[in-house]
């Protein structure tokens, strides 16, 4: 049977007590101990500086060259990741407990130690250290993934009605690093008035399962006063009674995506040459005007449709580049003469249309036509 070897660095200035530890750590169970004994922190640091990495360090706090927690700090700093067990006298128990709070795996009172207790303490310390290192790696991996995703991570607990928002929240909204966000309401207070009702409905809805996911796009008020688009994802956890106990998720900036979407929509609804609304957008606004008129026949409107005289002659004689320049100039002129709220569109070629809204009578339309002419 293979015997696991455990390398022990024993830092103890009392040779008799060191020998007792050696005797306790004679071959036991399925482990073979190799004990290297030094009498001071200085000697221990010399060993560690050579690159030696023991399986565990047994450390007496009362040594010739250090007192109290200083010895632990020196050793743990020189051997990160190596579990340390404090050996102490009963009158030093408070200091030993402080060392455990500082990161030591355990402490043992010398006069109470026996072989079985020491063996068990070493195995437990090594296992806890492995678990802590594994957890640390998971946390580092998680933190790296979050940083790579560039998302804000949020978490809310119902019992305390408290929330956590990662530092990315402050970056997204232009807040100083010192500003702490610890309430879900802090999030909701920044949501655009047109978006908050739907977000509240989603978050407040009674989940149909113990773990229900949600997602929502909305605008958040930046510290500059502008609104930025974000995409929120989350999971709602409930107890056996169906009551919410926790929610957590992420918030991502989608400003670039929204900008691209808006550009695509603008291109789909506007003429590429003149920048005017195109036929599709004009028809949509005309249909809206018709629906408004059906609901209230006092909301009258008119449509003007016209083309350019002798435009074909310009194209044929001066070329399409000159024709395009003329169309751009005409578009600018038309924009300058129509009323606010009216729609001027290029329907195609040299054809244009104007939707004249909210007219009292035919004279309003005639005035617009005269300005265009």
pLDDT in tens, 200-235: 999 888 777 777 899 999 999 999 999 999 999 999
- Same domain, residue pair 286 and 229: no
Q: Is the pLDDT of residue 29 over 60?
A: no
Which of 33-42, 53-62, 133-142 shows the lowest mean pLDDT across its residues?
Answer: 133-142
- Same domain, residue pair 290 and 247: no
- Same domain, residue pair 160 and 127: no
- Same domain, residue pair 12 and 130: yes
Domain boundary among the residues 207, 229, 255 is at: 255
- Pairing type for strands 300-307 and 351-359 reads antiparallel
Q: What CATH number did the domain enclosing 333 receive? A: 3.30.70.270
- Same domain, residue pair 116 and 84: yes
Higher-confidence residue: 48 or 307?
Answer: 48
Q: What is the arithmetic mean of pLDDT over 188-196? A: 96
- Same domain, residue pair 240 and 196: yes
Q: Is residue 135 part of a domain?
A: yes
CB 88 within 8 Å of CB 110: yes
- Same domain, residue pair 178 and 288: no
Domain boundary among the residues 255, 289, 310 is at: 255
- Same domain, residue pair 8 and 141: yes
Q: Is residue 265 part of a domain?
A: no
Average pLDDT, the chain: 88
Beta bridge partners of 357: 301
Q: What is the arithmetic mean of pLDDT over 361-373? A: 81
What's CA 167's distance to the chain center, in Å?
8
Q: Is residue 103 part of a domain?
A: yes
State which residues form the domain around 304.
Answer: 270-372
How many structural domains are present in the chain? 3
Strand residues in the chain grouped as ranges (E): 4-11, 31-38, 56-60, 84-88, 106-109, 152-157, 162-165, 211-221, 227-238, 244-253, 300-307, 343-348, 351-359
Q: How confident is the model at residue 52 (pLDDT cuts 50, 70, 90)?
A: confident
- Same domain, residue pair 278 and 204: no
- Same domain, residue pair 32 and 138: yes
DSSP 67-84: -THHHHHHHHHHSTT--E
Q: Is the pLDDT of residue 10 over 90?
A: yes
pLDDT computed for residue 1 by the predictor: 46
CB 343 within 8 Å of CB 355: yes
Dist. CA 100–CA 86, nearest whole Å:
8
Q: Is residue 264 part of a domain?
A: no
The separation between the first and the last C-alpha atoms of the chain, rounded to the nearest angstrom, is 104
Higher-confidence residue: 166 or 138?
Answer: 166
Dist. CA 342–CA 369, nearest whole Å:
12
Q: Is residue 263 part of a domain?
A: no
0.75 cut: is pTM over it? no
Give me the sign of the Cα torsion angle 317, 323, 329, 331: positive
Beta bridge partners of 355: 303, 343
Residues 6+ apart with CB under 8 A from 365: 302, 304, 356, 359
- Same domain, residue pair 297 and 200: no
Domain boundary among the residues 117, 145, 173 is at: 145
Q: Is residue 279 part of a domain?
A: yes
- Same domain, residue pair 139 and 47: yes
């Amino acid at each position: 049977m293979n015997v696991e070897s455990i390398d022990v660095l024993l830092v103890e200035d009392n040779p008799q007590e060191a020998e007792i530890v050696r005797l306790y750590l004679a071959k036991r169970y399925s482990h073979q101990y190799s004990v290297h004994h030094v009498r001071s922190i200085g000697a221990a640091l010399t060993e560690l500086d050579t690159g030696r990495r023991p399986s565990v360090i047994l450390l007496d706090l009362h040594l010739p060259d250090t007192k109290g927690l200083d010895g632990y700090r020196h050793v743990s700093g020189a051997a990160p990741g190596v579990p340390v067990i404090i050996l102490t006298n009963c009158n030093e128990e408070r200091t030993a407990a402080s060392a455990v709070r500082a990161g030591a795996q355990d402490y043992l009172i010398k006069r109470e130690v026996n072989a079985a207790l020491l063996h068990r303490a070493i195995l437990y310390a090594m296992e806890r250290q492995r678990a802590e290192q594994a957890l640390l790696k998971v946390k580092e991996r998680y933190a790296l993934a979050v940083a790579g995703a560039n998302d804000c991570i949020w978490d809310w607990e119902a019992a305390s009605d408290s929330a956590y928002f990662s530092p990315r929240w402050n970056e997204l909204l232009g807040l100083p690093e010192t500003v702490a966000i610890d309430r879900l309401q802090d999030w909701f207070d920044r949501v655009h008035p047109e978006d908050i009702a739907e977000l509240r409905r989603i978050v407040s809805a009674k989940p149909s399962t113990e773990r229900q996911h949600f997602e929502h796009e909305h605008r958040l008020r930046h510290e500059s006063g502008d609104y930025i688009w974000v995409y929120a994802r989350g999971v709602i956890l409930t107890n056996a009674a169906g009551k919410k106990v926790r929610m957590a998720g992420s918030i991502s900036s989608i400003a670039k995506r929204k900008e691209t979407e808006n550009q695509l929509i603008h291109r789909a609804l506007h003429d590429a040459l003149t920048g005017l609304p195109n036929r599709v957008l004009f028809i949509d606004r005309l249909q809206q005007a018709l629906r408004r008129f059906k609901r209230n026949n006092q909301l009258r409107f008119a449509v003007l449709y016209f083309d350019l005289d002798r435009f074909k002659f310009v194209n044929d004689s001066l070329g399409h580049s000159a024709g395009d320049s003329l169309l751009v100039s005409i578009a600018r002129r038309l924009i300058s003469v129509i009323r606010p709220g009216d729609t001027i569109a290029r329907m195609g070629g040299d054809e244009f249309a104007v939707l004249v809204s909210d007219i009292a009578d035919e004279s309003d339309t005639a005035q617009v036509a005269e300005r265009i002419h």
